[in-house]
A and B are shown apart, each in its own frame.
Chain A
Amino acid sequence: MKNILAKFWKSYSIGVVVVVVGIVLSFLTPRFISLDNLLNVMTNASLVAIMGLGMTLAIASGNFDLSVGSTAALAGCVSFSLVPSIGVTASIAAGLVVGAVVGLINGLIITELRVPAFIATLGMMTIVRGAALIYTDGKDLYLFGQTEYKVLSGTYLFGIPTPILFAVGISLLLGFIVSQTRFGRHILAIGSNFLAAQRSGIPTSRVIWMIFSIVGATAALSGMILSSQVLTANGRLATGIELSAIAVVVLGGTALSGGQSTMVGTLLGALLISMVNNGLNLLNVPIFYQELTVGVLMLGALAVNIGQGFDIRSILRRQA
């Protein structure tokens, strides 16, 4: 019985927390439960969730990517600036390509220069941020009269905001890739034991390039959605968002030690943070307290996550 409970908790803990927090918030402030507000909460969650889903792949492979915020900014700015000349669709595609290329460079630095992902992406975070600022000359970009770009943030399909559709669609796609394809299996193998993965013939470098390209593309999409919401882009877009992106993955239950992943978990993790922020807003809690609360939430999730994925006893046993 204890085992069943433990397993249940491990698989669904984030879902349980989301429901409980939702119920509590509904009682505290009835406005929370209104349809408009819920859609708003989910839209905000989607922004982080989309890059978080890419990040889930990186973390499942035992890596992570600190450059996603900067990538989002660069892709957002490039895409924005191209709209007048090449149109909305092509410029969105261009933004995705920019993101994927930044990701590929991350991957190459990791595999070819043998720099750990932490350092590689930390460096790229600064470099790409610099590139975005140089590209925009530090100014804001506006899209006057090009409201078509709103397609990324506004268009409703059955009344659902596009970012939510993107988040759900990408989670289904990546979830399928991880669990059903060779590439997905390779990601988990690399995250589980890199040396063993290499020795079972997995082309580890190629897999890492692919992972980081996908992370870059999802970051780019987040960045473009963000700028399309306000039809403004600048080099400081999405500053600091990389930590939230990692946090939602961990909150969702993907172990930082690699080897497993849950896309649904990442979605729910993003939803939880968005709900808490929104709830605290509705309750008129000052913004600084919101930051503090989210920080505590992340620490709590990390503590629980490490408790699950990292068993100190097994290490002691190995010593003996």
Chain B
Amino acid sequence: MEKDNHKKLLEVQKLTRRFPGVLALDQVDFDLYSGEVHAVVGENGAGKSTMINILAGVLQPSGGEVFLDGNPIVFHNPADAQQEGISVIFQEFNLIPHLSVSENIFINREPTRNGMIDWKSMNQRAAEALNRLKIEIDPRVPVSTLSVAEQQLVEIARALAFDARVIVMDEPTAALSEREVDNLLRTVGSLAKDNVGVIYVSHKLEEVFRVADRITILRDGAHILTDAASNLDEEKVIYAMVGRALVHGKCPDRTLGEVVLTVKNLEVEDLVRNVSFELRAGEVLGLAGLMGSGANEVIEALFGLRKAQVDEIKLQGQALAINSPRNAIQSRLGYVPNDRKTAGLLPDLSLKQNISIGILERLRKLFWIDSTREYKVAETYRDKLNVRCSSLDQRISNLSGGNQQKVMLARALAEDCKVLLLAEPTRGVDVGAKAEIYSLIDSLVESGMAVLLQSSELPEIIRLANRVMVFSSGQSRKELTGAELTQESVMALATRV
């Protein structure tokens, strides 16, 4: 698309980035004109974040070139990119909470007079930058007193104060209310009018169609298509996003048994409302939804990580009151956290110790741990889950992501749980290990385990779950099974606000 009086600002050609075991970006072409909002959409793992990180100078490409104003350029670090007028607004902001809005906007470039910070002119110029965006925020208040939406606007004001010509926004509305979203989209529009080029990364299609001039779709690290938004519609985009040859396919036939878990009217703070379901032995119930939709919060509440109100939780007919993870484990709920690094792994402990940590009471002999039995238990689960390691006494941090994840699963299983709560069970795991974990879950379920699965990867949910509840804005919108259950139908429900 050639635009009159808009010139090509940024172009990438054959951009490639390899991580150990993964090709995150595979020869992707992309360009951006001044005064344009160019949306980049794709599922989790499509390569959006990798591309942004390369443009931000955080990551170096393994191949391909970046051109700015037609000249090839290499960003060695984020400062380089910023110097060239590329500002990236990440999901986690780079604001310093205790400093004021103006201090944050002018960080590292504070206007000075006689060697001291010129507060008056700094606050004035900050106010101007905010005014330009029609934002009413006092530049003197600390950033920590602002709402998430306001902080985001401050980030944009900072980008403008840096004379950014290219502003990249990564999932900017993930944490915003509807009204705040409107406000943000208006701001994005006015940026484009000021001839700034905006790269808008999101998987909320409704917003994308409201702001974008052009849309680029990535899938599995590859460029699928780029076209003017007016030539596309939601259906086409969804198809392009998920329309891979469905290598994973659907889940095998599941034989359902007795009801194991009953949840009635679960409410979690103001994040989840009115969720009820039954889970049977031999069943995988999928909880689908975008970030902040409430799907993950349901799992966390059931494991006692969030304060929740519920009319009834029954496990095998017995009423439960869960208020802590310890309590949940004792009630025979097993949990695999969505982020094993921060919430699961005990990195200094061995493989064996990571498996046995929840069952030490059972392994007690007088007042010490029966090391023979501990070894046997660990051995059993290592073999059952096919954990590849040189020894059970190996430090877990030396294992690959896939094997670490199997250990997380082993820990929950060793606790003899009746229901497995899985959150993003294959995050940060390579393709081979992923397939292995899928068939592991299959065989567990076949032997009667009940699984509640939250995943933001659609193919994963379709592959594992025989029934899926689709969440958006804290509510379960619809339950899909059988022929109705497709990636397209889930995506359509999840992106509807």
Contact = CB atoms under 8 A, between A and B. Distances in A.
A196 B58 CA distance: 29
A271 B371 CA distance: 32
Contact of A189 (B58, B326, B337, B357): B357
Given A200-B411, A201-B329, A195 B342 contact: yes
Given A202-B357, A320-B59, A192 B364 contact: no
Interface residues of B, number: 31
Contacts of B326: 198, 201-203
A2 interface: no
A182 interface: yes
B420 to A, nearest CB: 14
B346 interface: yes
B325 A201 contact: yes
A176 B367 CA distance: 11
B348 interface: yes
A260 B415 CA distance: 24
Interface string A261-278: 000000000000000000
Contacts of B358: 200-201
Given A188-B349, A193-B347, A199 B335 contact: yes
Interface string B340-369: 011111111100010001101100100111
Given A180-B369, A189-B357, A199 B343 contact: yes
B346 A197 contact: yes
A119 B329 CA distance: 33
Given A181-B369, A185-B360, A199 B325 contact: yes
A187 to B, nearest CB: 11
Interface in A141-188: 176, 180-182, 185-186, 188
A200 B329 contact: yes
Contacts of A95: none
B112 interface: no
A279 interface: no
Given A199-B335, A199-B337, A200-B358, A181 B367 contact: yes
A2 B418 CA distance: 48
Contacts, number: 81
A189 B59 CA distance: 33
B346 A259 contact: yes
Nearest to A176: B368
Interface string B366-390: 0111010000000000000000000
Contacts of A203: 326
A253 interface: no
Interface in B406-434: 411, 415
Contacts of B13: none
Given A201-B330, A319-B58, A196 B345 contact: yes
Contact of A185 (B329, B341, B343, B357): B357
A241 B382 CA distance: 47
Contacts of A216: none
A186 B369 CA distance: 12
B342 A192 contact: no
Nearest to B397: A314
Contacts of B343: 193, 195-196, 199
A258 B305 CA distance: 24
A198 B327 CA distance: 11
A168 B344 CA distance: 36
Nearest to A191: B348
Contacts of A189: 346, 349, 353, 357
Contacts of B369: 180-182, 185
A195 B343 CA distance: 5
Contacts of A180: 368-369, 371
A209 to B, nearest CB: 16
Contacts of A319: 58
Contacts of A320: 58-59
A25 B358 CA distance: 50
A252 B108 CA distance: 42
Contacts of A181: 367-369
A180 B365 CA distance: 10
A199 B344 contact: yes
Nearest to B19: A320
A76 B16 CA distance: 68
A202 B361 CA distance: 11
A182 B345 contact: no
Given A192-B347, A199-B344, A319-B58, A185 B353 contact: yes
B16 to A, nearest CB: 15
Given A182-B369, A201-B330, A203-B326, A192 B360 contact: no
A196 B343 CA distance: 4
A313 to B, nearest CB: 13
A224 B103 CA distance: 54
Nearest to B363: A182
Nearest to B340: A196
A193 B345 CA distance: 7
A316 to B, nearest CB: 11
A202 B346 CA distance: 12
A259 B364 contact: no
Contacts of A318: 341
Interface string B97-140: 00000000000000000000000000000000000000000000
Contacts of A186: 360
Contact of B325 (A198, A259, A260): A198
A196 B330 contact: no
A259 B329 CA distance: 23
A205 to B, nearest CB: 11
B381 to A, nearest CB: 15
A259 B353 CA distance: 12
A195 B341 CA distance: 10
Interface string B51-74: 000000011000000000000000
Nearest to B361: A182
A192 B349 contact: yes
A200 B333 CA distance: 11
A198 B337 CA distance: 12
27 contacts: A181-B369, A182-B361, A182-B364, A182-B369, A188-B346, A188-B348, A189-B353, A189-B357, A191-B348, A192-B349, A193-B343, A193-B344, A193-B347, A195-B342, A196-B345, A199-B305, A199-B337, A200-B329, A201-B326, A201-B329, A201-B330, A201-B358, A258-B348, A259-B348, A318-B341, A319-B58, A320-B59
Given A196-B345, A318-B341, 12 more contacts: A182-B364, A189-B346, A192-B348, A193-B345, A196-B346, A199-B325, A199-B344, A200-B329, A200-B411, A201-B329, A258-B348, A320-B59
Which 6 A-B pairs give the minimum distances between C-beta atoms? Answer: A259-B348, A201-B329, A192-B348, A182-B360, A180-B368, A201-B326
